[in-house]
Structure formats: structure tokens, C-alpha cells
Amino acid sequence: MTEKIKVAAVQMVSTPVVADNIATARRLIGAAKEQGAQLVLLPEYWPIMGMRDSDKVAMAEAVTGGPIQQCMADIAREQNIWLIGGTLPLVAPEAGKVMNATLVYSPEGMMVSRYDKIHLFGFRKGEESYDESQTIVPGKDVTVFGAPFGLVGLSVCYDLRFPELYRAMGPVSLIVVPAAFTYTTGRAHWETLLRARAIENQCYVLAAAQGGTHVNGRRTWGHSMLIDPWGEIKAVLPEGEGVIVGEMEMQMLNSVRDSLPALRHRKL
């Protein structure tokens, strides 16, 4: 197993224009690679933050493939990185809805794993109102994939509030969380939830966020970050486009689990 690996999270302020978002993602992934990143995570909804929820339904790609999927495969191969593609709308069996899917590509450009977001965001406070269930079909399967640096658990945004999902993954080296937390919920809970998931699962957590005010008026919290198994923040980007890069060390992960063997002490 690889003892050390540099990982990166890309933070974006995605727009309704898919081509612009792809260009931004390419540029930021390139910047992460220049800093030595071997794994790069994109944020939720990176290809599109539309003017209305139905926009993502209109641009959804087939499960069998599409231009954005081909683009991610090409970037992973060209940059020789593991690329975790935030989320991409895929056509769902239910008419008028999509699956909010995380696709994982190997350095060879092969799609090696897929996770469909299980927990769908719903929130009402004052004039803010969100209901992802209107346009998204929830996933069903807990998803972990293997890489030379260990097991990686996949989750998306609102999943972060459901610790049982992460327990179901079993011991993993890294949890990834592509997200588009709202400014309201992110300011209150984002860091606390991410650090809790790292501490209770004694693993690294890498979160890539949308971070700014979008064309549609929505404001997202940002604060993409890397957290170590002790719960310490190793890198963070508060707001705006950019990348964070940090190192995962398997020796540090094993040391935490050996000195405080909470995972072995579980009774339930």
C-alpha cells in the first residue's frame, strides 16, 4: 500500500453554462496536479448550477456515457490522477428526474466506481426552500472503492448528516464529500459535521464544495477542506474558486487507530 499520497479538492462557483464549468474544472484540476496531487475531488453539481432545478434534468447524461463522462475520463488519463467527479446528473428510470451520481476514474481513464446520492436535501427557513426529491431519485447502495492508498468511501453533501452511512462503509482510509452546502447550513454545521465524521471513523475526510454566490442567486458556503483522522483541519479554502492540496499519511492513520482503538471497541 502507498504510504503517502497528495490529495486535492477543487472549489467552484458553478454557473448555468456547462462549457464554462468544464473549462474551470480543467484549469483547477491542472493547478492541483502542478502541486503534486494524485487524487482530485470535484464538488457537487460541478457541471451545472442552473437557474432552476429542472435544468439539471434537461442536461442529464445517459448511464452508458456522455460528453461530460468522456471529459472526466480524458482528464484523469491526461493528468495521470484519480479523479472523483463530484456529482453529475444521470438519466433516472423515473421520468423528469435524475440520479445525482459520483463517478470515479482511475489514472488510466477507466470509470471504476459510481455512487448515487442516497439522502436528498430538504430545507425551509424564511425565504430559503430546497427539495431535491422533486428532481432526484435517491440511491440505495453504500459504495467503497479500492485504490493503492487504501479504501475510499463515497458520499455526497447532505449524506454528511447521517453517520450510519459511514459506519456501513467499514474501515476506510478516506471519505470524500463533494458538496454544495448552502451558506445558512454550512456556516452552522459544515465544519462540525466533517470533523465529526473524521474523528468517529478515524480516517481522512476530503470535502470539495461549491463556494460563492451563483448566477441563480444561491449562495453556497465553500470551505473545502482536508481533515486528518484526529479531526485536525490540514487545509481549507473559505470562498471562491481554487484548490486545496494536502497529504494523506497512512502511518498517521494507523497511529491514531492504534493509540485510540475506538473502531475495535464498538459494541453496536
The domains located in the chain, with CATH, are 4-259 (3.60.110.10)
Q: What percent of the chain has pLDDT over 70?
A: 100
**Residue 128: what pLDDT?**
87
pLDDT digits 0-9 by tens, 239-250: 999 999 999 999
How far is it, in rounded angstroms, from Cα 121 to Cα 44?
13
The helix or strand, by DSSP H or E, that contains position 191, with its residue range, turns out to be helix 191-201
Q: Give the active site residue among 44, 61, 239, 241.
A: 44
Q: Give the active site residue among 157, 203, 239, 241.
A: 157
pLDDT digits 0-9 by tens, 46-63: 999 999 999 999 999 999
How far is it, in rounded angstroms, from Cα 82 to Cα 162?
26
pLDDT digits 0-9 by tens, 228-239: 999 999 999 999
**Residue 127: what pLDDT?**
83
> Taking all residues of the chain, what is their mean pLDDT, rounded to a whole number?
98
Q: Give the active site residue among 117, 132, 203, 241.
A: 117
Answer whether residue 1 shows pLDDT above 90. no
Mean pLDDT value of segment 27-43: 99
157 is catalytic: yes
249 is catalytic: no
How far is it, in rounded angstroms, from Cα 112 to Cα 118?
19
44 is catalytic: yes
pLDDT digits 0-9 by tens, 172-199: 999 999 999 999 999 999 999 999 999 9
**Residue 144: what pLDDT?**
99
Angle (deg, nearest 10), helices 67-79 and 18-34:
10
